């Protein structure tokens, strides 16, 4: 059974084809060794050629992919505004259609006016309620503050009257003390 053994990249030889190299003393290289060197050089050239071709193919692929990416960006740059404009147009058309259907007959228009009137009345009533609540809250705060101020004023008046009553008595005490010291 013949088995393949790799001796160098790109070349295979069977086990039977392999012959041991015999060197005699002072013998020159055999033609088969020279051929092996030439074969090796040819393999190197072939590998280099294949590597170069592979690099060229990769560069071409990268260029095509880059062009494709820029093409996609350009396409998106055109499609996005078109889509946005169509969406806006659809919304305007639906709004106009809805308005037309709402006011298409006098009965529908009157019904819509009644709805507007009810909504306006509801908003007015809500505002009036909020204003009343705010007024009541402010009046309550004012009453509380007025009571506090009146209470403080009455306390100050009482303290002032007490001090006024005590002043002559304190003045007499001070005079007595001064006289006792002198």
Q: What is the pLDDT of residues 87-101, one digit of tens each?
A: 899 999 888 888 888
Tokens linked to 85? 């404009």
Would you say the pTM of this structure is higher than 0.75? no
The Cα–Cα gap between 105 and 39 comes to: 98
The Cα–Cα gap between 62 and 104 comes to: 62
So what's the pLDDT on residue 50?
85
So what's the pLDDT on residue 47?
85
Tokens linked to 135? 């007024």
So what's the pLDDT on residue 1?
44
Q: Kindly give the parts of the chain with pLDDT less than 70.
A: 1-33, 35-36
CA 102 from centre of chain: 40
Helices 31-102 & 106-181, crossing angle to 10 degrees?
Answer: 90
Query: Taking the CA atoms of the chain, what radius of gyration do you get in angstroms?
Result: 56
So what's the pLDDT on residue 128?
97
């Amino acid at each position: 059974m013949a088995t393949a053994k790799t001796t160098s990249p790109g070349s295979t030889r069977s086990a039977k084809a392999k012959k041991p190299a015999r060197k005699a003393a002072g013998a020159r290289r055999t033609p088969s060794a020279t051929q092996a060197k030439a074969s090796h050089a040819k393999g190197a050239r072939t590998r280099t050629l294949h590597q170069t071709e592979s690099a060229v193919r990769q560069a071409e692929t990268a260029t095509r992919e880059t062009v494709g990416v820029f093409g996609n960006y350009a396409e998106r740059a055109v499609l996005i505004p078109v889509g946005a404009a169509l969406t806006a147009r659809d919304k305007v058309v639906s709004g106009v259609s809805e308005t037309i259907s709402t006011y298409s007959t006098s009965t529908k228009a009157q019904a819509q006016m009644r709805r507007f009137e009810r909504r306006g009345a509801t908003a007015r009533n809500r505002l009036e309620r909020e204003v009343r609540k705010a007024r009541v809250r402010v009046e309550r705060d004012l009453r509380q503050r007025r009571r506090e101020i009146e209470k403080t004023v009455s306390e100050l008046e009482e303290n002032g009257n007490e001090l006024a009553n005590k002043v002559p008595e304190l003045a007499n005490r001070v005079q007595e003390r001064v006289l006792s010291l002198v």
